[in-house]
Amino acid sequence: MIAKLFRAVTHRSSSLRKAVWKLSYEYLAKTYRQGFWRFMNYGYAPLDSSSTGVALDDEDEADRFCIQLYHEVANSIPLAGLHVLEVGCGRGGGASYMARYLKPASLVGVDFSEAVVAFCRQHHAFATLSFVKGDAENLPFESNGFDAVVNVESSHCYASMPRFLSEVKRVLKPGGFFLFADLRGKDQAKELRKDIDTSGLHLIEEKDITANVLRALELDTDRKDQLIRKIVKGPLRKYFRDFAGIRETGVYRRFWNGENVYLKCVLQKAA
């Protein structure tokens, strides 16, 4: 019931959707401060059963599928030595992974929740990594400042995708790259493609990774379910299970039946 009400509210208007998501993430960051909860994405798994996936340190193994989504997106270009911005950094696990494994010269994570930024600063200390509060549709950075912008499973919360894409184009250096992945309803995906086509950024790659995300949800269900049972009490537990895409929940079924799709795109600003 809570999940259905949440979807109804967030689809009613773009400004309301943005406000509700912001309040939700503020609540999560203030209420659930456990440092071991570092990711909130649905994950990515290779469809080839013989693939071993990304090589990870033992400390990161528990978050394998969530990290593999970041690897699939961010590894589209070599980030080593570049100045990188992640918009919608969430609890900071993806930014930390990119900073530690992909070796950019600097990485800034920005999120519109002050509580989320505080959480990230507390739990992700790394020399080349920093976090700031900011709005994806009005980024607090000068123009032409970043070699790459990364955006993973965040844009569905925004009020205006065209405004966000305009900001991405503004803060990218000439020739810079936008590395993007997110879910949409099947009809909304058509609108997303129109927004990309009119963004002024050149589309280099578009890939439907729905099957990989669905596979990750299946493989990661038990771990996520155990985590939810550990930290969430009472009736909210059912909502958290749907939010996490646990097997047979509404989120999982919408990917399974094709109602939702998950797209990965690589775009470039003109040199």
Q: Is the pLDDT of residue 148 over 90?
A: yes
Q: Establish if 190 belongs to a structural domain.
A: yes
With bands split at pLDDT 50, 70 and 90, how would you rate the model's confidence at 147? very high
Q: Establish if 52 belongs to a structural domain.
A: no
Please tell me the distance from the alpha carbon of residue 215 to that of residue 118, in angstroms, as a whole number.
Answer: 32
Q: Establish if 229 belongs to a structural domain.
A: no
Residue range 246-264, pLDDT digits in tens = 999 999 999 999 999 999 9
- Rounded to 10 degrees, the C-alpha dihedral 167/181/261/248 comes to -120
Q: Establish if 245 belongs to a structural domain.
A: no
169: tokens are 């184009």
pLDDT given at position 244: 94
Q: Is the pLDDT of residue 172 over 50?
A: yes
Q: Establish if 64 belongs to a structural domain.
A: yes
CATH number of the domain at 39, please.
Answer: 3.40.50.150
pLDDT given at position 125: 93
| Parent domain of 206 | 2-45+57-212+258-268
Q: Is the pLDDT of residue 75 over 70?
A: yes
Range scoring the smallest mean pLDDT among 24-33, 56-65, 188-197: 24-33
Q: Where are the beta strands (DSSP E) in 78-208?
A: 83-87, 106-111, 129-133, 146-152, 172-185, 202-208
Q: Is the pLDDT of residue 29 over 90?
A: no
The count of domains in the chain is 1
Residue range 203-222, pLDDT digits in tens = 999 999 999 999 999 999 99
Q: Is the pLDDT of residue 2 over 60?
A: no
Mean pLDDT for 126-139 is 97
pLDDT given at position 13: 59
Please tell me the distance from the alpha carbon of residue 234 to that of residue 7, in angstroms, as a whole number.
Answer: 21
pLDDT given at position 212: 98
DSSP lists the bridge partners of residue 108 as: 85, 130
Residue range 78-126, pLDDT digits in tens = 999 999 999 999 999 999 999 999 999 999 999 999 999 999 999 999 9
pLDDT given at position 114: 93
Please tell me the distance from the alpha carbon of residue 179 to that of residue 98, in angstroms, as a whole number.
Answer: 13
pLDDT given at position 12: 53
62: tokens are 């528990």
Percentage of the chain lying above the pLDDT 90 cut: 83
pLDDT given at position 3: 44
Side-chain half-sphere CA neighbours of 67 within 13 A: 22
DSSP lists the bridge partners of residue 150 as: 86, 179
With bands split at pLDDT 50, 70 and 90, how would you rate the model's confidence at 14? confident
Neighbours of 28 (CB within 10 A): 20
Please tell me the distance from the alpha carbon of residue 55 to that of residue 38, in angstroms, as a whole number.
Answer: 18
The residue whose two tokens read 């099957």 is: 211
271: tokens are 């040199």
Q: What pTM value is reported for the model? A: 0.93
Q: Is the pLDDT of residue 240 over 60?
A: yes
Mean pLDDT for 128-137 is 97
Q: Establish if 244 belongs to a structural domain.
A: no
Q: Establish if 203 belongs to a structural domain.
A: yes
Q: Establish if 109 belongs to a structural domain.
A: yes
238: tokens are 């059912």
